[in-house]
Amino acid sequence: MRNLKGKIALITGGNSGIGYATAKELKKNGAQVIITGRRKEAVEQAASVLGVTGLVADQSNLMDINDLAMEVARCFGKIDILLVNAGVTKFSLIEYMPESIFDEVMNINFKGAYFTLSKFIPILNDNAAVVLLSSTSAHISPIQASVYAASKAALNAIMKIAALELANRKIRVNAVSPGPVSTEIMGKIGLTQALENQMTSTIPLSRFGKAEEVAKLIGFLASDSAAFITGSEYLIDGGQCI
């Protein structure tokens, strides 16, 4: 068990999936955890079950991001761990991609993630750890996921530059790129047995990942055990990108 006692962690999109699992993992290791999400009821319920602080904020809304940073600074001072996790997945062939879906995905996954990092830099402690949740989609070029894949590829580029810009403060910035993971988002994209079989056929370990497995990797990167790691992307994909 890694010691995160005395650390304050913020997780966007922490009311479900990988964000929820990470909140549980960081709290178990001693961190004081704040989760955010768009749905007030879901955030409050998750925060209650986890025993953490829940704040409502929409990562696609820059005013919400700014207000969130100010609220966290007011209530907690500075933070030690930032997981930029909130994101959406929408599918369409490039030929038929509606502008509204393009904007929704990019506003949350890229623009929102970018400005979440931007607004929280002033309230990160020196030696803090930042993790951006990316995806293997940035590497495997999945059909109908062009905008989603582009948003994650863009995030990987930002991660490397942020690692350089923040190195003088010993703030480490890394990315974690999961392959398919068993979370509620699979239901939202209409996962069928046939689709699951097709997806697992692309994974050498022949299964979906678990949110808890991704959470443990994020917990490692957030800890002092990863003190010499920055500017790196970690694939956790059962070999999908080999």
CATH number of the CATH domain containing 88: 3.40.50.720
Domain count, the chain: 1
The answer to whether residue 36 sits within a structural domain is yes
Each residue's pLDDT expressed in tens, for the chain with a length of 242 residues: 578 999 999 999 999 999 999 999 999 999 999 999 999 999 999 999 999 999 999 999 999 999 999 999 999 999 999 999 999 999 999 999 999 999 999 999 999 999 999 999 999 999 999 999 999 999 999 999 999 999 999 999 999 999 999 999 999 999 999 999 987 665 555 566 777 788 888 899 999 999 999 999 999 999 999 999 999 999 999 999 99
The answer to whether residue 73 sits within a structural domain is yes
Whole-number pLDDT of residue 1: 55
The answer to whether residue 121 sits within a structural domain is yes
Phi, psi for 143 (deg, rounded to 5): -60, 140
> What is the pTM assigned to this prediction?
0.95
Residues belonging to the active site: 148
The answer to whether residue 240 sits within a structural domain is no
| 116: containing domain | 8-234
The answer to whether residue 2 sits within a structural domain is no
Q: Which two tokens stand for residue 66?
A: 């700014």
The answer to whether residue 54 sits within a structural domain is yes
The answer to whether residue 239 sits within a structural domain is no
Distances (CA, A) of 242 to 3, 25, 139, 236: 33, 28, 10, 11
